[in-house]
Amino acid sequence: MIKDDVGVVISRRAALKRGGVAAATLLLGQRATMVSTAAETTRTTKTVWGIAELFQWVYLRQKKTGRDTEDCLQAHLDCGIRHVIWAIGRSAVDYHSALPHTTLYVGDSRPETKVIGDVMRERCCLRTALAFAREKGMTIYARLGMNRHYGGGYGGGLTSRFAAEHPEWHEVTKDGKPDKTRLSYFFPEHRQERLDILCEVARIGAHGLCLDFARQVPMLRYHPKLVETYMAQGRPDPRKLALDDPQFMDWCRFRCGFVTTFLRDLRRALREVEKQTVRRVPVMARVTDAGLTVNLMECTDIQTWLKEGLIDELCTDPLWWLQFKYPDTVKPYAELAHAHSLKHWGGANTVAAPKTRLNPISLLQRVRRQYDEGADGVALYQSDTGCVDPVLKPILPKLSDPAAIAALLADPTLLAKYPQDDASRLFSVDNHSRIEALGVAAQPMDIL
């Protein structure tokens, strides 16, 4: 509909007659604006998650501001990141808990961690993060490292009393050595301890839960009680099985069953929490992207989790820790998640792994490849550091826009500024990766 100068409705043809070229130009401009607006509306946008730790934020600064949690989250907002997976602990916890078996992290034997302990004592970082998120319209998922207990390292300050006081539940390696850094999911007491923490943070108000199974794989090893139970069913001694023995994968699935049992119990418990809080608590699982077969060896049976509806979102992490040719693709995970109508988040790191070197081109390439393979977004590990890195900070706001990523990767100036070599090409894999091609010893596959 077009009106003339006095408000009378006239036809498009009449307008062109009266206005000549000027009117034609105006109409074409209107049409171009409409087309442009439609294109903007349909432009693909991806979700970018930060994976942040207040520990790391304070550690790097060696001082407190009284608003450390808010400062960290604001740094994410400054980079266009409104979804944050917020650390609430691994063994010791980072939030104020009322549970009898939890231990608040208050620093360890390193003098530089004293300031972190001071910050953790003063305020509950989870409740503070949630209050800030309400004010700013952010989403906060609470992230728990699912089996990372550190043993006696750093004076035991990173380890909960629960883990330290129960050596009978500590894992055991294939060759019979104690592994104090893990507790066995074979024991219901350990499963319950993890479940209690997750349900508590859900009650506190976390918008969702991130179960980080990348910290630290494998979830189960060869605890004697686990081995005895397996062999009591007429099965062979798993400690004597080679990786290519058909029975080995049966052993892997047997171990996976205890983690899956934990997830079933968690889902039941969360249903009660959801009734009490009158809101849904989505569960995200973070796993390595080593491939579904290796995931089974790491004791994460993702296919069963999705089949039974035990998780709501799947996040993959490029953790390269084995002597293994990593496929470096998220396509199987995206396809599996989408087949069950779930979101799949890819993964990248903003901190360099040993002997790798920061390179924004490598980060952009990884994110673009994961989007091309079907990822609905990406989760950036140690975003607390990446958000303030002078090289990465200008890049991060672009990661939600595949078209913007493509433009950056076509920019000759940027490409010339950050040439790639072997060390920089692998920037953005998990910073705990052990890349043998760069001379960093990885773990042999047969430890699985």
Q: 297, 301, 271: which is closest to 283 by C-alpha?
A: 271
Contact assessment for residue 346 and residue 405, using Cβ atoms and an 8 Å cutoff: no
Average pLDDT for residues 354-359, to the nearest whole number?
98
Contacting residues for 416 by C-beta, under 8 A, at least 6 apart: none
Give buried/exposed letters for 191-225 (b at 16+ CB in 10 A, else e): bebbbbbbbbbbebbbbbbbbbbbbbbbbbbbbee
Instruction: Report the distance separating Cα 341 and Cα 316, nearest Å.
Output: 17
Average pLDDT for residues 94-99, to the nearest whole number?
99
Q: For 31-40, what is each residue's pLDDT tens digit?
A: 444 334 334 4
**Two tokens, residue 281:** 């608590």
- Identify the residue whose tokens are 């920019």: 411
User: Where does residue 235 rank: exposed (0-12), middle (13-18), buried (19+ CB within 10 A)?
Assistant: middle
List, in sequence order, every residue forming a beta bridge with 86; answer none if it has no partner: 52, 142
Contacting residues for 123 by C-beta, under 8 A, at least 6 apart: 69
Task: Give me the pLDDT at residue 152, please.
Answer: 85
Q: For 284-330, what is each residue's pLDDT tens digit?
A: 999 999 999 999 999 999 999 999 999 999 999 999 999 999 999 99
Q: Which SS3 state, helix, strand or coil, does residue 289 take?
A: coil
Question: Cα 215–374–332 angle (5° rounding)?
Answer: 60
Helices 246-277 and 188-204, interaxial angle, to 10°? 40
Q: What is the CATH code of the structural domain delimited by 46-447? A: 3.20.20.80
Q: For 2-28, what is each residue's pLDDT tens digit?
A: 333 333 333 434 443 334 433 333 333
- What are the structural domain ranges in the chain? 1-42, 46-447
Element (H, E) at 317: strand 313-317
Task: Give me the pLDDT at residue 43, please.
Answer: 73
